[in-house]
Each structure stands twice: as C-alpha cells, then as structure tokens.
Structure 1
C-alpha cells in the first residue's frame, strides 16, 4: 500500500465529497491518509473525519498561516485536545505547524515573533506527549531546524521539502523524514527533482498536500490523495528503481516516523501499516 502523509481532506474544495475522495484513494492502493489540522476551528473536524474511514488518521496543530488570527489561549486548547486525543488510535501527531516567512504579512517582525512563539509551544506539546510533528517550512528551513534542535519532538516530517542538501541532512540528523509530492512531477522543478533523486530513499515519505500542489497531469486542478501511486511512479523513474521499491520503502518510512499510525489497518489490503 501507499501512504499519503499530508492531505487536507477537510478542505472546502472537497466539501461533501471528502469521504468519497478517501474511498477513491483506497481503490488506488492508498492504505492511509494523514489529515493535519490547521487551526483551533478544525481540531474536532479532522478527528471526526478520520473516524469515518479506516484509511484515515489525523494530526492536531495550528498552521503558521493561521497564526495571525490565533489567540495564545488557542495553545492551551490545543494542549487539552492533544491530551484527550492520546486515547484515540487515529491520532498520530502534532501538525501542521512550523514557520512561513514567504508571505509578506507573516515576515513582518511582530508576526515572525508570534509564529516562533506558536511553533515553540507546539514543539513543547509534541515533546511532552512523545509525538512526531508535521512541519510547514517556507523560507524558514534553518530557523525551523534551530527550534527543532532546541525543543526536540519525537521525530517528524518536513512537509513539502525544498531546501538544500545540507538542510536535508540537518532534518535527517534530527530524526525527520522529508515529504515529497506533486512538485517532483514538473520537469522544470530541477532542485526538487535532484533532491528526490539523490537523497537516501530511507529519508523520503510520500504526500500530496491535497487539494494543493497538484502533479503536472492535474495542475492547475484540485489535487487528491489517489495521485500518490502515480507520483511515486515518477519518483521511481527519476531514481531508476522499481516502483514497488518506492512504495515499500516510503511506506515503511512513514510507519517508522509516525509510530502511532503503524497499528492502524491499511484499508486497501486489510494489512497492518507495517506490511
């Protein structure tokens, strides 16, 4: 089976079709979809959505793009939700969290400071509960790494990785995997394709970031988690290896970095995530 380690299945682009989208992915061999939260308003939504299918699980967190409208009290709410969710086997980590210095508003000094405050507190939550994190990293690779080294979670995934080889090694040394998806299907995405080709396969997990980052054959349309196998086939072609190797290794990588997910059934095969 394949695993989509990052998919916003609750996004408005899917609407009432969200569960159908999950079923379509299962029919294409996607045995597990990770649904990250983005703010206080959808913490319950992602949990409720994940409960309705056996190929879905979820993470809880506050996205850096949502930080401008967040209150510091939201962090206390998140901590309480995480504590309660530890009893739910479909809860697998903290995310989507991180730093975004690409958007001009978010790169202003006061907002950078607020993002850092939220990121560090969410790293503490992950550390305190022994959980991995799903990190959003735009124009902030070194800063995210700095905070991860200071407040160490139980590993994690650098979502949509697009840094340097040195930064990639920094994440690997910190116990992270690197997420790759639709971007690598574009022939003009030379750096991402080089990273996807030359980094150790043991460091890579598959993702879609659906409904965003659509692969070349879908762009500019809405991305969906059923695209993971075809994206994986492109990765296999770039690396010159069998697609089965990409599927098996990236699935094992995802299970290793998201250990709470490893016991969940893969809906496509009825097998555990470890197989």
Structure 2
C-alpha cells in the first residue's frame, strides 16, 4: 500500500535490526522501499539489500556533504547503475547549510567540488536514462541553475528525478515542477513548525508527489526524536491526506503509482 521512496537502511540504528525493520514495514503495509547510497564505499552494502529482498531497490551516488570519500567519475556511476535493481543516481545535489559551523567557515565559492560532483551525477543520469535523487539544502538557486545548465530544462531527452525531503519554498517547488521533477515529502511535514511546508504539500500536484522517511533521520510525529524507520511512512501519508482533505488510501495509491512511474522496474 505505502512506499518509502528514500531510506538509509545501512546506517547504524537500522542495519543491525533489519529483520525487525522489515517486519514492522509489513505490519504497517509498507510494501516497498528505495535504499539510498551516499558514498561509493557503501554502495556494495546498499546494493546487497536490493539483491537480497524483492521489495527493495537501490541507488548509486555520493551525498554532497560527504568529504574524504571516493570521488566518482561518470563511468564509475554508469558501471554501477547498470547492475540489477539499481534504479536511480544519487543521493546527489548541493548542501550549503551551516557554512560557519559545519563547513569550517568556508565560503560558497570554496564548495566548487560539490558543484562539480553534482554535474558528474547529472551527466551519468542522462547517459543511463535513470532519474536523479536530489538533495538541496540552503542551495536551491545553484541547484536549479546547474540542472538547467546541464540540460535538465523540462524538455527533450532528460534524466528527470525527485527533490527529496523537500523543505524549500513554494517558489522552489514551482521551479522544480517546471523542470519536470517530482517532489518528495518526509516526516518534517508533521512538525508543528512546518506550516509553510504544509502549504507546499497542498500546492504540489498529487501526480508529482512522493513520500519518504529519510530513515534513520526525521522521524514523524508521534515518533519525533527517535530513530526513524520505513514503517513510519504512513504517518507522512496521513499528514498529506489531512493537509489536502482527502483519504489516506488515495495518497498511498497516488504516491505508489508515482514511484513506479519515476523509478522504472520497481513494481513488486
């Protein structure tokens, strides 16, 4: 019934409890999940989950925040994207959040390596015709500009993809939709402080929406502050349904259908 379109099941807190995680998913009617890769070093483990379980799939990519890890070439990404059950390129994108604290006081100009990494992922996605899983945080202007510069302009032969764990403005949502991208919402939409984001939930067309947990992070209310799990994605769907004044089953059906449309080959 429900699909978690973005989770990190190789991370501590979930990896060592996988049988229990899968049991909880079944009990919550979460039928499928996309396991996200954030470094080349972890790809084998992420991919192994997809190979071992018929309702898991994987991505390949390097998160923009990860430093001191293997920097992939386009060919590195293409080689892994060609493997069975790898359905997307990412998690990729840009993250400028906390320049003073998290980035050691560096400037945005100092993060050119992030922008070049993002371009590599876009080029790989276009070459293999698989969608991008995009992370953008405090960097939406550059994220959108680079997508356009690399040919992701909403027309012609493009990779497409999803802006995952969306926390940006209505303006950014419109721009992403104009480029033909999907928008995915996480447990953040259940937080009391997220009223502006719920307005974006009400705005985004249902046929361009996905839901996710981003496990083990961002557990929805009533589990906020605890380790997140794919079993909690129904709470995201329930908030979408409440915000839009519709039945939760309609949200489940629409977002599951969108998952199948965007990520080819993920039917059960």
Q: TM-score, normalised by structure 1?
A: 0.88
CA-to-partner distance for each residue in 1:33-61, whole Å, 9 max, x for gaps?
A: 11111112101110012222121111000
C-alpha displacement of 1:198: 2.5
Aligned to 2:155: none
Rounded Cα–Cα distance in structure 1 between residues aligned with 2:12 and 2:109:
30
1:41–1:143 distance in 2 versus 1, CA, 3 Å: same
Which secondary structure does the structure 2 equivalent of 1:48 belong to?
Answer: helix
Are 2:84 and 1:102 aligned?
Answer: no
Aligned to 1:268: none
1:45–1:82 distance in 2 versus 1, CA, 3 Å: farther
C-alpha displacement of 1:111: 4.0
C-alpha displacement of 1:215: 0.6
Asked if the contact 2:87/2:130 (under 8 Å) is kept, the reply is yes
Aligned to 1:251: 256
Aligned to 1:159: 164
What is the aligned counterpart of 1:86 among 82, 86, 90?
82
CA-to-partner distance for each residue in 1:228-264, whole Å, 9 max, x for gaps?
A: 1122112101111111111111111111111232xx3
Asked if the contact 1:37/1:61 (under 8 Å) is kept, the reply is yes
Which secondary structure does the structure 1 equivalent of 2:52 belong to?
Answer: coil
Matches within 5 A, 1:29-108: 29-66=29-66, 68-71=67-70, 74-76=71-73, 79-80=75-76, 82-88=78-84, 90-104=85-99, 105-106=102-103, 108=107
Are 2:179 and 1:174 aligned?
Answer: yes
C-alpha displacement of 1:85: 4.1
Rounded Cα–Cα distance in structure 1 between residues aligned with 2:193 and 2:80:
45
Aligned to 1:5: 5
Q: Which moved more, 1:128-137 or 1:20-29?
A: 20-29
- Greater percentage in helix: 1
Asked if the contact 2:64/2:114 (under 8 Å) is kept, the reply is yes
Asked if the contact 1:176/1:257 (under 8 Å) is kept, the reply is no
CA-to-partner distance for each residue in 1:121-163, whole Å, 9 max, x for gaps?
A: 1111111111101111100112111111222342111011122
1:145–1:19 distance in 2 versus 1, CA, 3 Å: farther
Structure 2, unaligned runs of 5 or more: 153-157
Rounded Cα–Cα distance in structure 1 between residues aligned with 2:48 and 2:75:
18
Aligned to 1:270: none
C-alpha displacement of 1:84: 4.3
Q: Which moved more, 1:11-20 or 1:42-51?
A: 11-20
Off by >2 Å, runs of 4+ in structure 1: 78-85, 105-111
Aligned to 1:273: none
Q: TM-score, normalised by structure 2?
A: 0.90
Are 2:177 and 1:193 aligned?
Answer: no
C-alpha displacement of 1:109: 4.0
Asked if the contact 1:30/1:228 (under 8 Å) is kept, the reply is yes
Rounded Cα–Cα distance in structure 1 between residues aligned with 2:32 and 2:240:
19
